[in-house]
Structure 1
Amino acid sequence: MIIKKVFNNNVVLAKNSSKHEIVVMGCGIAFKKKVGDEIDENLVQKTFILKQKEASEKFKLLLEDVPVEHVSLCYDIIEYAKNILNVKLNDYIYVTLTDHISNALKVFEEGLNCPNVLIWEIKKFYPKEFAVGLKALDFIESEVGKRLPENEAGNIALHLINAQINSSYDNVEDMLNITEMIMDILNIVKYTYNIELDDKSLSYERFITHLRFFFKRLNRKEKIESEEDDFLLKQVKVKYKKAYNCMLKIEKYLEKELNDEEKLYLTLHIQRITQR
């Protein structure tokens, strides 16, 4: 491996034997080294091979600003997530999660605590990703001596979920189809209530996120059932009759019978985004 750029004593950009650009980490790997020198492969501890060009370029920019220990920490978290979840993750996870965790540590040091409004839904629909998020908090505490709040486990889980969503589409056409279906669902809500939705509101953002997760679950054929949802759905059906009927229109549009879990959450989201 030949050095193309030195970020610091422990991180370099290199070319491997296949002429591919890779980011290599190792204690003292670039000590007294310069561009064009060969790397001592015995010192290599971690290797980043990002096949997506845009992700690779942004990752290289990130290395200029983020402490090397944060990059190494996030590498360990991502590798752990891949093993536990047994899924493919989009290359951008190395950029987005590293940037997020580095910023989360700065915010924590400033004494701030940013809430995660989706944490309840993340726990409910994605317990495996949330469990990885909690384990990531252990990784962070072990590495930097700071225990981030549970909200951050939800944020980390969200990054992992999004990385799966972005890697689960076979091509751009799949992503466009999902986007089109989300727009159709929003139009169903708008025309049912004869209102314009506030696309800047938190409720709108949560609904869009829920729909993205929903289509991801459909794509992976995941099913979630809960004993309590039949009872809750009956209550919601009476209390929010118009929202429930709107949900039935969405179900008809999807040409798929939804389970009680999805019926419940879609109805509640519709009720939230249509309230003034």
Structure 2
Amino acid sequence: MISVKKVLNSSVVLVEKDSQEYIVLGHGIGYGRKVGQTISDDEIDEIFIPVDKYKSAQFLNLINEISVDYFDMTKDIVMLAEDRLSVKLNTTIYLTLADHLSFATERQKKGLIFTNRLQWELETYYENEFKVGKDALDLLSDKYQYTFPDEEAANIAFHIINAQDELSDETNGFKKAKLVSSIINLVKYASMCELNTASIHYNRFLIHVRYFADRFFSNLLIDEADGLYKQMWHLYPIEMGIALRIAEYIMQTYQIKVPESEIAYLGVHINRLIQYSSNGTKKGEILEE
């Protein structure tokens, strides 16, 4: 049996099954539900995301910032990808891809174009994933009445590729975790501020750092000549200095050079993180990736 632990809204519920907590997403899933109520397995046909019970509150807050429409669309994309590719995707894609779709739509509304220099590689070497990305763009365009560039198909394909990682790959997971921890510590000490690890802004930053680690260990770092690097140095030299220290650490540790575009994106996310005080009050903001 499944027990309801918290109802965030009519579309997001935290449940427990066999001592494991899950976030359940779907239109109407929380309607009329109460804490402690049990739900039979045959009642559930929604998105299940396993979460660490000590971090479930942060994940629920993060999910609450993203419209459930993007999770529904992600569910459709995942079903399409799993059917076309004959694979089972990691459930973390429901968070990372939904967050990306939300940002991509917002970006399109504002007329902001981000190039993807890996588009040719993804289209050539991950042809099937790219085709799924193209079909996903059609869903996004139909829903929001925007015309999205093919670069977004490549971005979606990249999320699908990342989600094909085996959950049992402990060695790869350890390497990613070590890199993420090192980046977080560098930001913490270089910024000379106490990071509020319980805040939604910290958790959004953490997700983006994990995304960077995925790209790094997949040899898919982004290398774009779009002028963002120079612009970020002009506007946010402190944050870019921290990002550069991260790149230098990676060079010393892994003997791999981090492209300027990746340094700029790290600067963007570092800026957003430290623009909030420890109590979550916004001091300033720039557009995030």
Whether these two folds match at TM > 0.5 is: yes
TM-score by length of 2: 0.53
Report the Cα distance in structure 2 between the residues aligned to 1:211 and 1:45, rounded to whole angstroms.
33
**For the structure 1 residues 13 and 211, does the alpha-carbon distance in structure 2 shift closer, same or farther, using more than 3 Å as the test?**
closer
Report the Cα distance in structure 2 between the residues aligned to 1:55 and 1:147, rounded to whole angstroms.
37
Moved more, 145-154 or 55-64: 55-64
Identity of aligned residues (%): 36
Matched, 1:63 2:63: yes
Moved more, 128-137 or 139-148: 139-148
1:129 is aligned to: 129
1:163 Cα deviation after fit: 2.5
Check conservation: 1:13, 1:23, Cα contact below 8 A. yes
**For the structure 1 residues 81 and 62, does the alpha-carbon distance in structure 2 shift closer, same or farther, using more than 3 Å as the test?**
farther
1:58 Cα deviation after fit: 6.1
1:2 is aligned to: 3
1:116 is aligned to: 116
Query: Which amino acid counterpart does residue 171 of structure 1 have in structure 2?
Result: E
1:149 Cα deviation after fit: 1.8
Report the Cα distance in structure 2 between the residues aligned to 1:173 and 1:211, rounded to whole angstroms.
10
Question: Which of the pair has more CA radius of gyration?
Answer: 1
Query: Which residues of 2 match residues 114-263 of structure 1 at below 5 A?
Result: 114-164=114-164, 166-167=165-166, 170-172=169-171, 176=175, 212=219
1:271 is aligned to: none
1:56 Cα deviation after fit: 6.5
1:175 Cα deviation after fit: 6.7
Structure 1 gaps of 5+ residues are: 180-204, 214-276
Report the Cα distance in structure 1 between the residues aligned to 2:86 and 2:53, rounded to whole angstroms.
24
Moved more, 88-97 or 4-13: 88-97
Structure number with the higher helix fraction is: 1
Query: Which amino acid counterpart does residue 167 of structure 1 have in structure 2?
Result: E
1:25 is aligned to: 25
**C-alpha distance after superposition, 1:129-182 (max 9, x if no partner):** 100100111222333343322110010111112223x437732268759x9xxx
Report the Cα distance in structure 2 between the residues aligned to 1:143 and 1:45, rounded to whole angstroms.
23
**For the structure 1 residues 98 and 143, does the alpha-carbon distance in structure 2 shift closer, same or farther, using more than 3 Å as the test?**
same
1:10 Cα deviation after fit: 2.2
1:209 Cα deviation after fit: 5.8
1:99 is aligned to: 99
Matched, 1:83 2:79: no
1:116 Cα deviation after fit: 0.9
**For the structure 1 residues 174 and 107, does the alpha-carbon distance in structure 2 shift closer, same or farther, using more than 3 Å as the test?**
closer
Query: Which amino acid counterpart does residue 66 of structure 2 have in structure 1?
Result: V
1:235 is aligned to: none
**C-alpha distance after superposition, 1:189-233 (max 9, x if no partner):** xxxxxxxxxxxxxxxx9xx869726xxxxxxxxxxxxxxxxxxxx
Structure 2 SS opposite 1:111 = coil
Q: CA RMSD in A?
A: 3.5
1:54 Cα deviation after fit: 8.9
Query: Which amino acid counterpart does residue 93 of structure 1 have in structure 2?
Result: I
Structure 2 gaps of 5+ residues are: 179-211, 221-289
**For the structure 1 residues 142 and 59, does the alpha-carbon distance in structure 2 shift closer, same or farther, using more than 3 Å as the test?**
farther
1:14 is aligned to: 15
**For the structure 1 residues 61 and 209, does the alpha-carbon distance in structure 2 shift closer, same or farther, using more than 3 Å as the test?**
same
Report the Cα distance in structure 2 between the residues aligned to 1:55 and 1:77, rounded to whole angstroms.
26
1:9 Cα deviation after fit: 1.2
Query: Which amino acid counterpart does residue 127 of structure 1 have in structure 2?
Result: E
Report the Cα distance in structure 1 between the residues aligned to 2:85 and 2:44, rounded to whole angstroms.
26
TM-score by length of 1: 0.56
Report the Cα distance in structure 2 between the residues aligned to 1:54 and 1:172, rounded to whole angstroms.
24
**For the structure 1 residues 168 and 44, does the alpha-carbon distance in structure 2 shift closer, same or farther, using more than 3 Å as the test?**
closer
Report the Cα distance in structure 2 between the residues aligned to 1:81 and 1:55, rounded to whole angstroms.
28
Check conservation: 2:3, 2:37, Cα contact below 8 A. yes
Check conservation: 1:66, 1:99, Cα contact below 8 A. yes
**For the structure 1 residues 136 and 53, does the alpha-carbon distance in structure 2 shift closer, same or farther, using more than 3 Å as the test?**
farther
Q: Which has the higher contact order (CA 8 A, sep 6+)?
A: 2
1:72 Cα deviation after fit: 1.4
Structure 2 SS opposite 1:50 = strand
